[in-house]
Structure 1
Amino acid sequence: MAGDDTIPHHAVVVIGGGQAGLSISHYLKAEKLDHVVLEKDTAMGAWTKQRWDNFCLVTPNWQCQLPGHPYDGPEPDGFMRKDEIITYLEAFRHKVGAPLHEGVSVKRVKARAGGGFEVITSTGTITADQVVATSGGYHTPIIPRFAERLPKSIRQIHSEQYRNADSLPAGEVLVVGSGQSGAQIAEDLHLAGRKVHLAVGDAPRCARFYRGKDVVTWLAEMGYYDMPVERHPLREGVRDNTNHYVTGRDGGRDIDLRRFALEGMRLYGLLDALDGTTLTFSPTLKAALNEADRVYNGINAAIDKHIAETGIDAPPPSVYAPVWEPEDEPRTLDLEAAGITSIIWCIGFQPDFRWLDAPVFNGAGHPQHHRGITQVPGVYFLGLPWLHTWGSGRFSGIDRDARYVAERITELAAGTAPGLKAAS
């Protein structure tokens, strides 16, 4: 489809300049397909602006398999720290050489009457035959409304704003949420000597190492990371699951909230409400800890089965036994009496695709697609959690997803997509 001569036109507009946007650009360039990548901030800015100082990967470096850019450093079984990740990604950016435009935010994408799409940006309007949303699914930080009523003397930040323990005012800290970010931030503060209160959610956990190998290595050998969402027991429901908490810090180890409690961290159940300066919690702590341990032992049991069935020579099995049990379910916390001066909200993000005017979303605002292909010809998603497999939102699976989406884009552009008419 030809655009208005007065409006810039591209065969494909890619919206988002993170690893997903650059990955699809890699394949579009290989197909010599005209495209542009628009990034509202700086390319892969989330890695420099939304990660704390001691952040590191929770999966081994060998899983970093961006298109044409596998990890080739000296520690394939190690876990890159923030500065090393940025170096790895900068090398990828340079290698791809994408037609990237930074500082350009997309305000609206809508279908054109004559075919294709109009893309309204902060720097003007362009048109496209096809569009790919590669901005991920973590857009709007979740903070409960009652947080507005907390005393102004208490500093509140979201996990994306946390940098280090010294950046917080002196005093005790409440971390709300125990997913990957919450558990690791709580550990970071705990190791820095801060008194931490942690509101524990329903996140599962897993071992770092078991029977002589990293658990990720075992799961890769067992084919877990190649399982498509359609074959997962939860089907599409797995996209709403909270990630297991574990860490790659200091060479990798388990995160055991029970051990933190033994060492002085104060644990609570789900945060429920606020009354004055007193927070109330649901009596869910014991159940949450028990369920996290059940998942932990269940993953290890699956590895035991794999070892037995394949006859692998490995160290003997083991079962985690709790090192601490809560004596009761703490139901309240007076922030002023406890000396809490900071709260870190680690309860995730909501997607925000309001800029995309297309019938491709469910009632919760989440994209509906199959492997990133929507029911609207020419509209695609890439880089979402469980877009196709566990690795879809990570360095490990984006290559396969980007290649697949690029093939569909090329087919549509050439008029060979099954059941679809190419834009003209």
Structure 2
Amino acid sequence: MPTALKSVQVPHYSVLIVGGGQAGLSASHYLQQKNIDHLVLEKHSLTHSWRTQRWDAFCLVTPNWQCALPGYPYSGDDPHGFMKREEIIDYLDGFIRSVNAPVREGVSVQRVSPRPQGGYAVQTSAGEFSADQVIVASGGYHTPIIPRLAERLPAGITQIHSEQYRNPQALPEGNVLVIGSGQSGAQIAEDLHLAGRKVYLAVGDAPRCARFYRGRDVVDWLAEMGYYDIGVDQHPLREGVRDNTNHYVTGRDGGRDIDLRKFATEGMELFGLLKDLDGDKLIFSTDLETKLDAADAVYNRINASIDKYIEENRIDAPAGEVYQPVWRPSQERATLDLGAAGITSIIWCIGFTPDFSWLDAGVFNGRGQPVHNRGVTALAGLYFLGLPWLYTWGSGRFSGVARDAEYLVEQIAQRQHKAAAG
């Protein structure tokens, strides 16, 4: 008689967490408090991106006191300083030990699908799992954006994405073109500039803000003003705020403004938005002055809101002032000959796109973005955590992910309780 086939028992958890960064670990912290069994699945190693996608001189752009991961707030002696890369890793290592999450590292999640009987089937590189509920905590920065134009650039030019940049010495000798002026682009351009490299910078739409104003860090003022507690449902832009580019500023050397105009007075060459390539010539929009003015307008608006707060609350603070441009382009330059400019390296600093292709769930809008309310989707038991502006400004940062994780775990616990009650 043929031997009966034995059924294979699929490991089952109440909750599976996809991603072992600060978001996934924060969820684990609160799930443990609720005694809810769960497992974190991490493709690489815990907090992998912090260890591999930051350049050598990287530091936080928000003060250390905002590092408020659950059960593990910053406890160092420099709360108003800005942790450097290795200090950030040390902080995260401490958080990992504090949480002591149940985790499988080196496990790639290949597909998550709703099961007909309820819950989710999770296919991974380590086999199949199942779960009653799933938290997607893999972040929103998955695929580096490099435009197809890059394929047409001269073969002799080194091209890297911002996630691959480490230091000026790692690039070939010669001049460098940085594409994009968001947080990464502005700071990488500064890193190269301070090292004495000739930098060309294609300026994008990123706004900027002051580091210090009227005697305090701007972040301190905004925190006191309640800005970081504003939910996306209360923000004037509503969900449109998720499309905003982060303001550029730096915590380097104790913190300071990044003023692209000042860099221009020191030899950095600025251009508008990159549009096309004609042979060895890059073509730019003649909108540099417009973009610089727009960034400065945001800078001054933030400072003006602080002025208003100080006045309304009769706070004793040093006098404020309106930023006045230290440089303006004498003429807009529409082209740049790469060879004549001696450019040997290009760094693409234009961001990432999310990749949720492994998630077989009808919870995405026409732009491929997950639709949710504070991380809770319309599909029962499916949640997102750690995305920018999931709920507040700090949702994708050390400062706000704890609030989001605690909220989601409360929803998970309530759903579990209802299921148990029948």
Which TM-score tier does this pair reach, normalised by the shorter chain? over 0.9
Aligned to 2:131: 128
Matched, 1:239 2:248: no
SS in structure 2 at match of 1:363: coil
Aligned to 1:377: 380
The AA in structure 2 aligned to 1:22 is: L
Aligned to 1:263: 266
Aligned to 1:201: 204
The AA in structure 2 aligned to 1:256 is: D
- Partners of 1:325 and 1:79 in 2: how far apart? 31
Aligned to 2:116: 113
Summarize the Cα distance change of 1:130–1:422 in structure 2 as closer, same or farther, 3 Å threshold. farther
Pick from 272, 276, 279 the counterpart of residue 282 of structure 2.
279
Pick from 160, 166, 172 the counterpart of residue 175 of structure 2.
172
Pick from 138, 141, 146 the counterpart of residue 141 of structure 2.
138
- Partners of 1:423 and 1:318 in 2: how far apart? 61
Matched, 1:342 2:336: no
- Partners of 1:197 and 1:423 in 2: how far apart? 64
Pick from 52, 58, 70 the counterpart of residue 55 of structure 1.
58
Summarize the Cα distance change of 1:117–1:330 in structure 2 as closer, same or farther, 3 Å threshold. same
Aligned to 2:84: 81
Aligned to 1:397: 400
SS in structure 1 at match of 2:405: helix
Matched, 1:210 2:176: no
Matched, 1:315 2:318: yes
The AA in structure 2 aligned to 1:119 is: V
Shift of 1:423: 10
- Partners of 1:108 and 1:150 in 2: how far apart? 36
- Partners of 1:283 and 1:231 in 2: how far apart? 36
The AA in structure 1 aligned to 2:181 is: S
Give the TM-score normalised by the residue count of structure 1. 0.97
Displacement over 4 Å in runs of 4+:
421-424
Aligned to 2:4: none
Pick from 143, 162, 168 the counterpart of residue 159 of structure 1.
162
Aligned to 2:94: 91
Summarize the Cα distance change of 1:351–1:423 in structure 2 as closer, same or farther, 3 Å threshold. farther
Q: In structure 2, list runs of 5 or more residues that go unmatched.
A: 1-6
Shift of 1:5: 6.0
Q: Deviations over 1:87-130 (max 9, x none)?
A: 00000000100001110000000011111100000110110000
The AA in structure 2 aligned to 1:408 is: Q
The AA in structure 2 aligned to 1:176 is: I
8 Å contact 1:129–1:423 — kept in the other structure?
A: no
Give the TM-score normalised by the residue count of structure 2. 0.97
Aligned to 1:296: 299
Aligned to 2:67: 64
Shift of 1:53: 0.3
SS in structure 2 at match of 1:280: strand
8 Å contact 1:37–1:100 — kept in the other structure?
A: yes
Pick from 22, 29, 43 the counterpart of residue 19 of structure 1.
22
8 Å contact 1:116–1:423 — kept in the other structure?
A: no
Identity of aligned residues (%): 68
- Partners of 1:383 and 1:90 in 2: how far apart? 18
Shift of 1:343: 0.4
SS in structure 1 at match of 2:394: helix
SS in structure 2 at match of 1:392: coil
Shift of 1:422: 6.6
8 Å contact 1:412–1:423 — kept in the other structure?
A: no
CA RMSD across the alignment: 1.0
Aligned to 1:183: 186
- What is the number of equivalent residue pairs in this alignment? 416
The AA in structure 1 aligned to 2:95 is: F
The AA in structure 2 aligned to 1:19 is: Q
The AA in structure 1 aligned to 2:166 is: R
Q: In structure 1, list runs of 5 or more residues that go unmatched.
A: 416-420
SS in structure 2 at match of 1:244: coil
Shift of 1:309: 0.2
8 Å contact 1:159–1:182 — kept in the other structure?
A: yes
8 Å contact 1:210–1:300 — kept in the other structure?
A: yes
Aligned to 2:362: 359
The AA in structure 1 aligned to 2:342 is: G
8 Å contact 1:137–1:384 — kept in the other structure?
A: yes
- Partners of 1:145 and 1:270 in 2: how far apart? 16
SS in structure 1 at match of 2:407: helix
Shift of 1:151: 1.2
- Partners of 2:371 and 2:287 in 1: how far apart? 33
- Partners of 2:139 and 2:17 in 1: how far apart? 12
The AA in structure 2 aligned to 1:209 is: F
Aligned to 2:253: 250
SS in structure 2 at match of 1:59: coil
